[in-house]
Amino acid sequence: MEQSRYEKRGVSSDKNEVHKAIKRLDHGLFKHSFCKVLPNPFSENEDDAIILHADTAGTKTILAYLHWKETGDLSVWKGIAQDALVMNLDDMACCGVTNEFVLSNTILRNKKLITGEVIEAVIEGTIEFIEKMKLYGVNIHHAGGETADVGDVVRTLDVGFTAFAQTTKSEVFENQIRGGDLILGLASHGQTSYENDYNSGIGCNGLTNARHDVLNKEYAHLYPESFDSGIDSSLVYSGKYRMTDTYNLAGKTYSIGNLLLSPTRTYIPFLKELFRSKISGLHGVIHCTGGAHSKVLKFVSGVHIIKDMMPLPAPIFEIIKECSGNDDSEMYKVLNMGIRLEIYGNESAIGRASQIASQFSIQNQIIGRVESTGDNNSVVTMCVNGKEWNY
């Protein structure tokens, strides 16, 4: 089978090799919980449990690097902190854990290229996100971390977090998606009640494709440290835009850099209220990160997921598609395409979840349904632009 452009660039949307490597590891207390849940070794109460989760901002740091080098704007690094935080905390929140997180950061830099001011901006961004979430009843405790100068390991900067939280087995939300469920899609773009600016919806996944497909070849010559020299040169910065080029959206002008660097939206305020409401008939909460619209397959058995009412992609994804020429199948498996959180449940539960999302000004709509397959196999069918394909 021919490799996708994403794979040819040395990355994978479904991480098959990683999952093969860890298949013998204990998968925790709940087979279909979004994160691995373990018994609490610090408690004698058998119901107590913990979640420990780690993730990074991925290659989005390279976009921040290019924007910073081109404009001198340090504020983009604050958004990188939010990217790495959300990739951890929102995954955990899908398990019903929405409060009292403990964080430790790991920041790896090439000191010759990344200044102390950049590290300060990342830390400031972390503090600002923590303070913002506290306004919504989400307490996050920063326990420090490690900043290492490892120029032999990283070309520019890597920003990651490890997050810890305590819970109880009885409070953990486990996905039990079933035939008859409706699927509510929550937008990754627009502006929620807790965001200060328009969010393009780009998130943290698929940025290797987005960077190389949208930005032009000049970046390869100016910043050779920003890409893997082993990649076929035809796949390196093959787009037409510079970071400072502008794009008109709903009467406002944004730079391409701003659109590509919109901080990954957090859904924690919504998820906190969703789980607090204890909605009957709520069967699934899926954060569409790695694998995007195929992500749900990791948490189901014996169901056919049909997404045949998808909204138009957010503008940033139209830009990426125009520049790349990628088909819809690759686009929807690598990028969230404007929907990054899915809620599964019966009609009543979906109606209540929609109301809660609207309270936070999160655009949302029913994007599909679930049917039983009659066996243990599961498949996702996408129906977009008159085309249909399966994952």
User: Rounded to an integer, what distance in angstroms lies between the CA atom of residue 96 and that of residue 86?
Assistant: 15
**Residues 6+ away with beta carbon under 8 Å from 142:** 103, 105, 126, 127, 130
Q: Residue 85 pLDDT more than 80?
A: yes
The answer to whether residue 227 is domain-embedded is no
Distance CA 191, CA 209 (A): 25
Task: Answer whether residue 300 shows pLDDT above 70.
Answer: yes
Closest by CA to 133, choosing from 103, 109, 161, 98, is 98
pLDDT of residue 92: 98
CA 279 – CA 379 distance, rounded (Å): 27
What DSSP string describes 36-69? --EE-TT-S-TTEEEEEEEEE-TTHHHHHHHHHH
pLDDT at 2 > cutoff 60: no
Q: How confident is the model at residue 23 (pLDDT cuts 50, 70, 90)?
A: low
Q: What angle do CA 214, 217, 220 make, to 5 degrees?
A: 110
Within a domain: residue 254?
no
Q: What is the pLDDT of residue 269?
A: 98
Give, in order, the Cα–Cα distances in Å from 329 to each of 2, 182, 254, 299: 13, 22, 28, 21
**Average pLDDT over every residue of 62-72:** 97
pLDDT of residue 212: 97
Asked whether the predicted pLDDT for residue 294 surpasses 90, the reply is yes
Residue 163's pLDDT band (cuts 50, 70, 90): very high
252 within domain boundaries: no
- Note whether residue 81 is domain-resident: yes
How far is residue 151's CA from residue 157's CA, in Å, rounded to a whole number? 9
- The percent of residues above 70 in pLDDT, for the chain, comes to 96
Backbone angles phi, psi at 175, to 5 degrees: -65, 130
Tell whether 219 is covered by a domain: no
Is residue 292 in a domain?
A: yes
The structure's pTM equals: 0.94
Q: How confident is the model at residue 390 (pLDDT cuts 50, 70, 90)?
A: very high
pLDDT value of residue 173:
98
To the nearest whole number, what is the mean pLDDT of the chain?
Answer: 95
pLDDT band at 8 (very low <50, low <70, confident <90, very high): confident
Contact call for residues 194 and 136 (beta carbons, < 8 A):
yes
Helix (H) or strand (E) holding 207: helix 207-214
Whether 13 has a pLDDT exceeding 90, the answer reads no
The answer to whether the beta carbons of residues 156 and 65 sit under 8 Å apart is yes
**pLDDT band at 17; cut points 50, 70, 90:** low
Q: How confident is the model at residue 12 (pLDDT cuts 50, 70, 90)?
A: low
The predicted structure's pLDDT at residue 255: 96
Instruction: Indicate which CATH number applies to the domain containing 115.
Output: 3.30.1330.10
Position 16 scores a pLDDT of 62
Neighbouring CB atoms inside 10 A of 311's CB total: 14
- Number of domains comprising the chain: 1
Domain, as residue range, for 292: 5-199+261-390
Average pLDDT over residues 18-25: 64
pLDDT of residue 250: 79
Q: Does residue 363 lie in a domain region?
A: yes
On the question of pLDDT at 106 being above 70, the answer is: yes
Q: Which amino acid is at 200?
A: S
**pLDDT tens-digit profile of 122-152?**
999 999 999 999 999 999 999 999 999 999 9
Is the pLDDT score of 10 beyond 80?
no
Band the pLDDT of 14: cuts 50, 70, 90. Answer: low
The pLDDT of residue 6 is above 90: no
Q: What is the pLDDT of residues 208-229, one digit of tens each?
A: 999 999 999 999 999 999 999 9
Query: Is the residue at 138 inside a domain?
Result: yes
Backbone dihedral angles phi then psi of residue 255, each to the nearest 5 degrees: -80, 155
pLDDT digits (tens, 9 = 90+) for 264-284: 999 999 999 999 999 999 999
pLDDT greater than 60 at residue 18: no
Higher pLDDT, 358 or 25: 358
pLDDT class for 307, splitting at 50, 70, 90?
A: very high
